[in-house]
Amino acid sequence: MDRLEEEAQTSDNCASAPLAPISELTQLRAQFERCWPWLWTSLCEFGPTHNKEQVWLRLASRKAFLWPGKSCAIIGEFILYPIGLRTFNYWLQGGELTELKSLHDGVEAWAKGRGAQQARGEGRQGWLRAMTGEWEKGATVRTKWLIRPPSSSNVT
């Protein structure tokens, strides 16, 4: 049984069991490369903010964490606010929605076990309806391009 099958079985047996991200660097790079097309699509939704190597460096330095599925991927990170609030941020999610949603409980249990008091994520309005659990609408994000936005073909 491979890692993904074991984790899927674990999440089926106990929805709130922590699901650890990939930590071994060689496996992390291989899964990152495999999942990059889904992650890149997510990054380009509102104009890319990072290129592939910049995302990789955040993963390799453990500033961000990767949960790959068979047909999806999640990258998350922690945000520590000055008042002490520790938030888990769903930075990037891409691929097949049903599988993505099946990972959320395990990812959030892992984040909670590392001190996260809150989970958050930005994205299209539809994500609020798609996410499982008691999500609330948070702050509205406004974007105004002051210069022509970078083309996604120039960023990769």
C-beta neighbour count of 19 within 10 angstroms: 21
Say which range, 10-14, 92-96, 102-106, 112-116, has the weakest mean pLDDT: 10-14
Whether pLDDT at 7 is above 70: no
Q: What CATH number is associated with residue 53?
A: 3.40.630.30
Q: How far is CA 41 from the centre of its chain?
A: 13
Number of domains, the chain: 1
Question: Residue 49's domain spans which residues?
Answer: 23-124
Question: Is residue 140 a part of any domain in this protein?
Answer: no
Mean pLDDT, rounded, for 13-31: 86
Question: Is residue 134 a part of any domain in this protein?
Answer: no
Contacts 24+ apart (CB under 8 A), 78-84: 78/111, 78/114, 78/116, 79/120
In tens, the pLDDT along 30-46 reads 999 999 999 999 998 88
Q: What's the pTM value of the predicted model, to 2 decimals?
A: 0.81
Question: Is residue 153 a part of any domain in this protein?
Answer: no
**Nearest Cα residue to 73 out of 22, 24, 120:** 22
pLDDT reported for residue 156:
60
Residue 105 amino acid letter: D
Q: Half-sphere exposure (CA, 13 Å, Cβ side) for 107?
A: 32
Question: Is residue 18 a part of any domain in this protein?
Answer: no
Q: How far apart are CA 99 and CA 140, in angstroms?
A: 27
Higher pLDDT, 4 or 111: 111
Whether pLDDT at 107 is above 90: yes
In tens, the pLDDT along 44-80 reads 888 788 999 999 999 999 999 999 999 999 999 999 9
Q: Which two tokens stand for residue 16?
A: 């709130």
Question: Is residue 79 a part of any domain in this protein?
Answer: yes
Question: Is residue 145 a part of any domain in this protein?
Answer: no
Mean pLDDT, rounded, for 135-143: 78
- In which residue are the tokens 């309806």 written? 129
Question: Is residue 154 a part of any domain in this protein?
Answer: no
Q: How far apart are CA 9 and CA 122, in angstroms?
A: 29
Q: Which two tokens stand for residue 12?
A: 């089926």
User: H-type helices in 44-139, by residue range?
Assistant: 52-60, 97-113, 126-130
Q: How far is CA 119 from the centre of its chain?
A: 11
Question: Is residue 115 a part of any domain in this protein?
Answer: yes
